[in-house]
Amino acid sequence: MKRIIVPTVFILGVIGILVLFLPREGFDIEIENQANKDISGLYLTYENIKKDIEIPTIRAGEKEEFQVSVKDNSSDNFEEAALKLIYEDNEGNQQTEYIIGYFEKGYYGEAKINILSVDEKGKLEIEVTENTKFFNKSKG
C-alpha cells in the first residue's frame, strides 16, 4: 500500500507544480444573462483581431462560457488592446462595453459579464468583473 501512495503523491505534486508555472495565455470569459429576455447580437472584439468573436444567443437566466485566445485570434500587427463587448441597441446605435481595459501578448485571466437588464431602447445594463495577469510577453 505504501508503495502506491508515495509515487501517487509525487506525481500529483509534479502535476500541481506544472499547472502553477506553465505559461498561460488568453482569457476565460463568462457571460450570464440575468435579464428577463434572451440576448443576441453580441460580439467581442479588439484592435488587430483576425475575426470578431460572435456570441451565440444567451437565453434568459443562462450563461455562456468560452476562451479568447490572444495568440490564435490576433493578427501579426497585434501589440496591445482592450477587449470590448459590442452590440446594437433597438435604434441601431452601436454600444460598447469595455471588458478588459488593457492587455498585450502574455496576458491571461478571466472576466465575468453579468447582463442585469435591458431597457426599452435595447441598451444593456452590464456589470463586469475582470482579473488579468501577466506571465511573459516575449512568449505570447
**pLDDT tens, residue by residue, 105-128:** 889 999 999 999 999 999 999 999
Q: How many domains does the chain have?
A: 1
Sign of CA dihedral 28, 32, 38, 39: negative
In a domain, 55, yes or no: yes
What is the span of the domain harbouring residue 37? 25-134
CATH code of the domain in which 96 resides: 2.60.40.2890
Cell of 140: 505570447
CA–CA gap between residue 93 and residue 128 (Å, rounded): 21
pLDDT of 136 strictly over 60: no
SS3 content of the chain, % helix, strand, coil (to 5): 15, 45, 35
* pLDDT tens by residue, 35-53: 999 999 999 999 999 999 9
CA–CA gap between residue 25 and residue 104 (Å, rounded): 10
Residue 138, pLDDT score: 47
- On average, the pLDDT of the chain sits at 88
In a domain, 7, yes or no: no
